[in-house]
A and B are shown apart, each in its own frame.
Chain A
Amino acid sequence: MTGWHYWLPLLVLLTSLVASALIFWVDEEHSKLRSSINLGAAVLKISLVVVILVGVAAGQVYETRFALLNNIDFVLRADALGVMFAGLSSVLWLFTTIYAIGYLEDSPNRRRFFGFFGLCVASTLGIAFAGNLFTFLVFYELLTLSTYPLVAHRGTAKALRAGRIYLTYTLGGGIVLLIGVLWLYGLAGDVEFGDQEKLSDLAVTHPTTLKWVFLLLIAGLAVKAAMVPLHGWLPQAMVAPAPVSALLHAVAVVKAGAFGIVRVVYDVYGITLTWELGLLLPLGVAAAVTILYGSVRALMQTDIKRRLAFSTISQVSYIALGISLFGPIGTMGGLVHLLHQGLMKVTLFFCAGNYAETLGIHRICELNGVGRRMPGTSLAFTVGALGMIGLPPVAGFISKWYLGTGAVAAGIYWVLPVLVVSTLLNAAYFLPLLHRIWFRPQTGDWPQERTLGRWDTSLWLLIPTLVTAAFSLLAGLLAASDFSPLAWVELIVSTEYLP
């Protein structure tokens, strides 16, 4: 049992844990050493995830397991779905770290920042690889703990307030989730992912209880996934530094919630049982409401980061919407959006950070003519925005295409107008920005201009932005190839989807 297959998932987790422990140890002044540890660990982690990815594609099982309590195991298991999330988070960790090194240059408390940053990524890895509900819960709460210092990082009254609101929501959600998990454990014992037979038996005897448990689990997860009406923390958390917003929106927090919903529906209840209990429709309706509400609110914002925040609220619920479409195609749309939204949103937040750092631009009306001053960043922003709208060939189009065809295939036609209206709204809140960036002349001086190198901005900030933008484009262009997110999602759906 103690071959390297046994240790690999734990090892992936440990790379960021050890890195963050080392970073807490390194003195504030040694920024070079800190950056080396950070980047080294990130690269090592990607390599390990790639090893696992190749193994999982070949059918290898990677599992770390030991007893935490009598009858409760700590399980880390790399299955296809988990590897997908782990891959996303480790790749984006690398680029966000590069970005953050540039972004936070010369600011105080970097040791604390990067330490908790690593801890936060370790938690998402734990969430990705958790093999049972208990382990998932442990890392889900750990994520709350490790992201609070990032939200409150600046220490201003506004940041502390955002931190308080963030905690109130996430700890509250954590408690609701805990009660749900506890209840399920009381009924069924240790709930392993992928072992749905236990619950199918229970569904015969306790259908109502299972519905309540489902409600509790999803409500607890929906807080982090920022589903309406539990989304209030997300726009507040925007006061955090840009790389934190990028991480929170693209991989860490909201995705952890969405990923948890996927796990509960597919690997705890099983899609068939969820459907039989009549729980898919309410989930879909909640997701649809969130999509429309988030888009409308995004339209009303004048601050760039706040508009992006409400756009996240709307976009993340595509994942839940895809799951609720009872059929493989819709599932693919939802799952692939988990990756695509991550790539596109991280790009958009990097861009917003670049504008703010270089020119002091925070509000939409200040964007006029910025395309000429910062062409690289603006290009990346354009790619991200068009992808969010769902224009081919950017990745977002693939997601929306599969969602739409999935809805038709499942005969759930009310989803189509939701998709159409939401796409129109997306266009309505992104196109004016692009118009200002490229087609309007600059009006007056930039709010707070700094010269950072001979390009748009410092290369630490520019390169990650361009790379993630390129990824968003490639994920769409090469969707049909064997190496695209879509191909991996197809593998997941073909091996795990059992309707």
Chain B
Amino acid sequence: MFDWLQNLPLLLPWLVILPLVWALLSLALGTHYRHWLAGLAIAALMLVNLGLVGQWLLEGDLTYALGGWEAPLGIQLRLDGLALALVGVTSLVITACALHASTYLDDYPRAQQYFWPLLAFIWASLNVIWLSADLFNLYVGLELLGLSAVGLVALTGQAEALGAALRYLYAALLGSLAYLLGVALIYSGYGQLDLLALAPLLQSDASTRLALALMTLGLLLKTAIFPLHSWLPPAHGKALPPVSALLSALVVKASFYILARLWLQTGTQVVVPSAAQMLGILGAGAIFWGGWMAWRQNELKMLVAYSTVAQLGYLMLMFPLAIGVSPAAAQLAWEGGWLHLIAHALAKAAMFLAAGNLVLAMRRPDLQGLHGVGRFLPFSLLGFGLAGVSIMGLPPSGGFMAKWLLLQSALLSGQWWWLLVLVAGSALSALYIFKVYQQCYVDDTEVDSFRHPSLWMDVSSILLAILAVGLGILSAWPQALIGSVLDGGAG
């Protein structure tokens, strides 16, 4: 009964074309039609997503050469299970952020003009990254993504935001530059840029190692992995809430995605376990430093931003857990790592949106402003509360399932030190999340002096948070998608 899906023209390029059309139209038409345009674009992209799920289930991995040029000359898009999962998560998060921004930005008329086109550019570039099959396209996507993201941070034009945007810009440019150097080295060595085609070719020689090291360094900087993270907290903490949500949930993940594909799929012949352990140590540093700094913050949004630094650290544990171990352990680490990425994307977006609503309601950024929130603003708090459950990695959330898989992998490969890092990191995150919860129980005001956020602002955060928690119950599906990639891959 689903045969018609097979007969559809290939939907893949529309994932990139549609957001670009949206971006151009919203630049051309101005802000008057912004909500209509956003609604149309989101609806169209959601349909494409659904169609792609169907096609993928029927036909397996899909490839498409833009303009008919085959690799290595043309631009090739490739959709595997992992890319499909990430395309889906991207749509969900961007939809929620758009929903939130549609009323939040009423206070910022000047920002309207650029927010919508930049949002569309972000979507396009993210999809380019998830789908790109070669290193150079990834670079193009990365560059477009970085510049749009910097633009979004600078949106309000306030001094604090501009300063953060500038730091972000330097980090993004430096990161791309290092990455591009690595790509150039690979191309000069092998004359090939396709991720899968390179895998059997790569030799473990000095220039390949240098190339990989350069790319890794650039990507670590862009992913804000400890100790290269210092640009992230101001950029994410001082931006507008829908922007913060977008950046923390998706944008930083894009560079990690390239890093993980490079290490675990393309470079399996070159990477060595000791290097993977090094990445893991950076991850552990991020978990502890980020968690500790989050605990020390007294501004709600900065706390959430430092929590991102910590949570990104868990992603890095994928490398030591998946490299140089048995295929079974590697599979668990691969699935757990990506599941963590998805759970964190949903939960952190929900948390930033909720934090934005709370700050708006309190008219002050610090935690003490939360007194009485539980009584007068239960719905704004609900999104934060549920998202926190997933961030802490407590059941039944997606964060818990992801940690369970990572823990099992650590146990299976006998790397108990990563097990301890995972467990201690969770305890640390409980510490800073409950620091926030606790303030909400203080009940020292009898009058409701809060500014109540609009319904859509609360709903967008709650929906994402429910997804993050519900992911725990439904994680067998994303696990199947993610797991399908590795069969016979890294390990």
Contact = CB atoms under 8 A, between A and B. Distances in A.
A155 B443 contact: yes
Nearest to B332: A70
Residue from A69, A138, A154 with most neighbouring chain B CB atoms (10 Å): A69
B404 A175 contact: no
Contacts of A69: 401, 404-405, 475-476, 479
Given A138-B395, A160-B438, A112 B475 contact: no
Shortest Cβ-Cβ A-B pairs, 9 listed: A138-B395, A155-B443, A155-B441, A186-B411, A152-B441, A67-B476, A141-B395, A155-B442, A138-B396
B434 to A, nearest CB: 6
Contacts of A275: none
A56 interface: no
Interface string A362-405: 00000000000000000000000000000000000000000000
A179 interface: yes
Interface string B439-458: 00111100000000000000
A155 B374 CA distance: 10
Given A68-B401, A69-B404, A109-B374, A159 B441 contact: yes
A194 B434 CA distance: 37
Contact of B441 (A149, A179, A183): A149
B389 interface: yes
Contacts of B476: 67-70
A251 B152 CA distance: 52
A137 B395 contact: yes
A153 interface: yes
B423 A179 contact: yes
Interface in B401-425: 401, 404-405, 407-408, 411-412, 419, 423
A28 B376 CA distance: 10
B441 A182 contact: no
B378 A68 contact: no
B202 interface: no
A70 B408 CA distance: 12
Nearest to A186: B411
Interface of A: 24, 28, 67-70, 74, 108-109, 111-112, 137-139, 141-142, 144-145, 148-149, 152-155, 159-160, 163-164, 167, 171-172, 174-175, 178-179, 182-183, 185-186
B167 interface: no
Contacts of A155: 441-444
Contacts of B480: 70
B401 to A, nearest CB: 6
A383 to B, nearest CB: 35
Residue from B335, B395, B405, B408 with most neighbouring chain A CB atoms (10 Å): B395
A152 B438 contact: yes
A160 B441 contact: yes
Contacts, number: 85
Contacts of A24: 378, 382
A23 B411 CA distance: 42
Interface residues of B, number: 36
Nearest to B434: A167
A109 B430 CA distance: 24
B479 A182 contact: no
Contact of B430 (A70, A138, A171): A171
A70 B479 contact: yes
Contacts of A163: 438, 441
A163 B444 CA distance: 18
Nearest to B474: A68
Contact of B475 (A28, A68, A167): A68
A135 to B, nearest CB: 9
Given A69-B475, A163-B441, A182 B427 contact: no
23 contacts: A24-B378, A67-B476, A69-B479, A70-B476, A70-B479, A70-B483, A112-B374, A141-B395, A142-B394, A142-B395, A145-B394, A148-B434, A149-B441, A154-B443, A155-B441, A159-B441, A163-B441, A172-B427, A175-B423, A178-B423, A182-B407, A182-B408, A185-B408
A160 B427 contact: no
B375 A109 contact: yes
Interface string B366-385: 00000000110010001000
Contacts of B443: 108-109, 154-155
Contacts of B311: none
B426 interface: yes
B184 interface: no
Contacts of A171: 427, 430
A104 to B, nearest CB: 14
Interface string B386-404: 0001000011100011001
A396 B434 CA distance: 39
B58 interface: no
Contacts of B472: 68
A175 B426 contact: yes
A144 B476 CA distance: 25
A141 B480 CA distance: 26
B473 interface: yes
A171 B382 CA distance: 21
B411 A182 contact: yes
Contacts of B395: 137-139, 141-142
Contacts of A145: 389, 394
Contacts of A152: 438, 441
B449 to A, nearest CB: 16
Residue from A138, A144, A179 with most neighbouring chain B CB atoms (10 Å): A138
Contacts of A138: 395-396, 400
A160 to B, nearest CB: 6
A139 B438 CA distance: 22
A153 B441 contact: yes
A91 B11 CA distance: 56
A402 to B, nearest CB: 36
Contact of B427 (A68, A74, A159, A175): A175
A137 B400 CA distance: 11
A70 B476 CA distance: 6
Nearest to B430: A171
Contacts of A141: 394-395, 400
A32 to B, nearest CB: 20
Contacts of A149: 441
A210 B391 CA distance: 31
Contacts of B335: 70
